[in-house]
Structure 1
């Protein structure tokens, strides 16, 4: 023991004030009033919703160095939520991307092997299924995202950094943000929130103050990789459109017009209006049967083709815009195209086919 430490202890040991210690009972508890209405609502939303939120562990294959046996090992964690009592669980596609399997842990810590039902990477949505008893499965009530307003309160429940059943709160900071999916397709209508979203929150629910699902937390914007008060969620209207189709078909069956469009540079170069200039029309496809023509090169220059400027009266400027609108429909559905050709505009009804991809 150092000399300074010995002297310090000795001084305190010899201090007269410490030789006769007074009684030191615990401090009296100060009564508090009732919880504020906002606090009560926070508690109510968490109690009602947290049993629906699950922890997802993505599994990868690893070969043992000595035995050369291959086994599944955890390679990452994320969040999901119970969709229905049949055991369907919704999460982000990027949570299970590249995994050889997954395990789903419910709020009561029971764990189940998960099977992949279907995924739509363009919208970063995946559906898993577990064989859990129906009594353990509590589906979240589904809300709407089309009537959200900036400023209304939201809640996120998830497993940030593996800390399961974590509640964070905030507001809708902005609407109609664009999120880039893992396939670099644009997810439109994204919800921006300042509720803390961190690695591990991906795939978890964003809830409104009534405890209804309004989005799926999917991304953060942060220089450090942790929460910086800017998080994004896929709107529930997209989720509620895609998930039933993944459950039914195992994949997102795309409706198709049978066309290939050019980029904005084509429109600028040819002095065309904003829209999708057709560079290729598939033979015997829906567009060809409806009389649509692509731009072609002739002996005397460019032969005028068609520019699709709207689908069902919703303006489109790019192929991505057009695919987004078409994905709301299904093969066999009719849609109305607004078409520009050589200065004239017309409308044409087309029956969609099934995409080959």
Structure 2
């Protein structure tokens, strides 16, 4: 995998990524909107230093990555079809979204230079919306893609590659416009640590890669909305889930057995919490891992005409990691814990700070 990543980066550098970086100018200087490059009459670009090159860094990353991206087509037992995208992560397997293959009776994949071929589902995880498919005969000479090993900072330039509306091999560009987002999942759970992007994402992009200009996969595209807002399952979460799907066909998520609520100003005021930081425990499920350890709401109060819960614990740290919001809370559980782990929860109860030990369970199967 390391040699494949190195060869891709060398290829990207040869196609002009380095030249694009060298041409950067400070904000407000001429040509800064295009990284210091200006157009010439013949359609090529000229860098600030006078070097002319064909295409852009987006062209380079597309050429390096696109052959590893596949169109996915699925059919249910009644013959109804749907489509999405996927990408090679090793010589035999594709990663896509769980929702792309959910309920499929037959699954097919097509690469840029091949016809449709049947593929099999190795494993799926509805709670991360990830799935792994086995390709019987992958195309020769195509390097699998590698998941990034570090979280991308906001503003990182990215490209989304996939098959929107069935238009195979499409690319759109943008930036990482947000991190640590939560997305809805089955059974009122959420997918933690998602990446937000303004790259155009449309039906059919699901399961395709969101890649950096180095060709590393920053996320698995999950969904798109209006106003240039799209989301991807983070590489950090995929690095935990995908190997388990390859080994066993499923993945076990940590489970606390609580219903959470954001600590809004009204909830904080009603519960005497100052500063308003932490995650409010609204309900503890009977028989769950938190039963007898954490406390949920004991009643409600009305403030400014709004009924708000009171009496529940407010968790501020998990194993020493601050959890000022539900996003940080969910991300810690998703990326740092496993079922069976015992963690220390620092919380505020009845105006006093205390720490309790909580042994995590396994999230129940959807249904």
TM-score (norm 2): 0.69
Deviates more, 1:242-251 or 1:183-192: 183-192
Of residues 36, 40, 44 in structure 1, which corresponds to 2:60?
44
Of residues 164, 169, 174 in structure 2, which corresponds to 1:165?
169
Distance 2:144 2:345 in 1: 38
Deviates more, 1:152-161 or 1:201-210: 152-161
The structure-2 alpha-carbon separation of the partners of 1:321 and 1:56, relative to structure 1 and needing over 3 Å to count, comes to: same
The answer for the alignment partner of 1:292 in structure 2 is 293
Distance 1:239 1:49 in 2: 18
Q: Secondary structure at the match of 1:104?
A: strand
The answer for the alignment partner of 1:248 in structure 2 is 247
Of residues 315, 323, 346 in structure 2, which corresponds to 1:315?
323
The structure-2 alpha-carbon separation of the partners of 1:41 and 1:337, relative to structure 1 and needing over 3 Å to count, comes to: same
Q: Deviations over 1:312-335 (max 9, x none)?
A: 3231655x8645432321123332
How far did residue 134 of structure 1 move? 8.0
The structure-2 alpha-carbon separation of the partners of 1:207 and 1:346, relative to structure 1 and needing over 3 Å to count, comes to: same
Structure 1 residue 109 and structure 2 residue 114: aligned?
yes
The answer for the alignment partner of 1:271 in structure 2 is 271
How far did residue 352 of structure 1 move? 2.8
Distance 2:334 2:250 in 1: 12
Contact 1:334–1:349 (Cα < 8 Å) also in 2 = yes
The structure-2 alpha-carbon separation of the partners of 1:82 and 1:113, relative to structure 1 and needing over 3 Å to count, comes to: same
The answer for the alignment partner of 1:9 in structure 2 is none
Distance 2:354 2:360 in 1: 18
The answer for the alignment partner of 2:23 in structure 1 is none
**Aligned runs of 1:23-38 on 2, under 5 Å?**
36=52
The answer for the alignment partner of 1:69 in structure 2 is none
The structure-2 alpha-carbon separation of the partners of 1:282 and 1:34, relative to structure 1 and needing over 3 Å to count, comes to: closer
Structure 1 residue 82 and structure 2 residue 98: aligned?
no
Of residues 117, 123, 148 in structure 2, which corresponds to 1:143?
148
Contact 1:281–1:292 (Cα < 8 Å) also in 2 = no
Structure 1 residue 207 and structure 2 residue 211: aligned?
yes
Q: Secondary structure at the match of 1:109?
A: coil
Structure 1 residue 260 and structure 2 residue 258: aligned?
yes
Distance 2:258 2:198 in 1: 39
Q: CA RMSD in A?
A: 3.6
Structure 1 residue 340 and structure 2 residue 345: aligned?
no
Give the paired residue count. 303
How far did residue 295 of structure 1 move? 5.3
How far did residue 135 of structure 1 move? 4.3
Contact 2:44–2:55 (Cα < 8 Å) also in 1 = no
Q: Secondary structure at the match of 1:155?
A: strand
Contact 2:261–2:282 (Cα < 8 Å) also in 1 = no
TM-score (norm 1): 0.70
The structure-2 alpha-carbon separation of the partners of 1:317 and 1:44, relative to structure 1 and needing over 3 Å to count, comes to: closer
- Largest Rg, 1 or 2: 1
Distance 1:304 1:214 in 2: 40
Distance 2:313 2:62 in 1: 53
Q: Secondary structure at the match of 2:55?
A: helix
Contact 1:84–1:137 (Cα < 8 Å) also in 2 = no
Of residues 92, 100, 105 in structure 2, which corresponds to 1:100?
105
Distance 2:356 2:84 in 1: 45
Distance 1:120 1:111 in 2: 25
Deviates more, 1:141-150 or 1:197-206: 141-150
The answer for the alignment partner of 2:360 in structure 1 is 352
Distance 1:169 1:38 in 2: 18
How far did residue 184 of structure 1 move? 5.5
